[in-house]
Structure 1
């Protein structure tokens, strides 16, 4: 697990969620959810805020979760949210905005998956040095504890 990448994705997601909570047009305009005059209707603003509040909360969970199972779970929730966005927005947004929304949602999910699958320790989890560190941690910890590195 590449902790720094997961935390960066979480921070970016949280900041985006905070920005769009304050200014829903940051999401509405690229998504094609504006009127003919380019303005965002109040109903659209209201509808977008829970979506981005979820991004804020999920991003903060990725930033603050302890390394290991909690961070892995927060990242998996982020992946599920992003893939859900891709499916729902891809099926419902106005046609010109669909492809872009799907690409952005799948892109964020891919970053989280990359963080989950990669090693952020300078050595792959399967490497000899990483296995030695994992064994040493496991030997020093109670038998029910798991190594913090995720290896």
Structure 2
């Protein structure tokens, strides 16, 4: 497991999740969920905030979980969320190009977490303290 990669994905996800929780239009506009003037309906804003909060929480878990089973579990939750987003947003967003982008972004982040989970731990040179 590449702990550093998982922690980087977690930090980026947590920051993005907090940003979208505060400003749902950051996700709504590129997803094609805004009107022609770029305005985001109140119901859409309400619907996106829990999704963003989930990202913030799962990202924080990747950053804070101790190495071992807790970090593996946090990574699996993040992977399931990203691949679930790809499947659901890819099937339901109203705009075809937005669907493609959502799938690409979601699969990309899920793949990074999967790579961090499955990659062998970085080897440390002899004499360097720390966990392998």
The verdict on a shared fold, with TM-score over 0.5 as the criterion, is yes
SS of residue matched to 1:21: helix
The answer to whether structure 1 residue 87 and structure 2 residue 90 are counterparts is no
Q: Which protein is bigger by CA-based radius of gyration?
A: 1
Give me the whole-angstrom Cα distance separating, in 1, the residues matched to 2:68 and 2:86.
27
Give CA-to-partner distance per residue, 1:91-114, whole Å, 9 cap, x none: 000222100000000000000011
- 2:97 aligned partner: 96
Matched residue, 2:50: 50
Q: Distance in 2 between matches of 1:6 and 1:26?
A: 24
Deviation >4 Å, runs of 4+: none
Shift of 1:26: 0.5
Q: What is the number of equivalent residue pairs in this alignment?
A: 126
Deviation at 1:117, TM superposition (A): 1.4
Q: Deviations over 1:21-50 (max 9, x none)?
A: 011110001000001221111111000000
CA RMSD for the aligned pairs?
A: 1.5
Matched, 1:106 2:112: no
Q: Deviations over 1:50-101 (max 9, x none)?
A: 0010000000000000001100100000000001000000000022210000
Secondary structure of 1:51's match? helix
CA distance in 1, matches of 2:101, 2:47: 20
Structure 2 partner of 1:121? 122
Determine helix, strand or coil for the equivalent of 1:121: coil
For structure 1, the residue ranges without an aligned partner over 5 or more in a row are 124-128, 130-147
Q: Give runs of aligned pairs for residues 52-67 of structure 1, distance below 5 A.
A: 52-67=52-67
TM-score normalised over the length of structure 1 = 0.80
Please give the TM-score of this superposition, normalised by the length of structure 2: 0.91
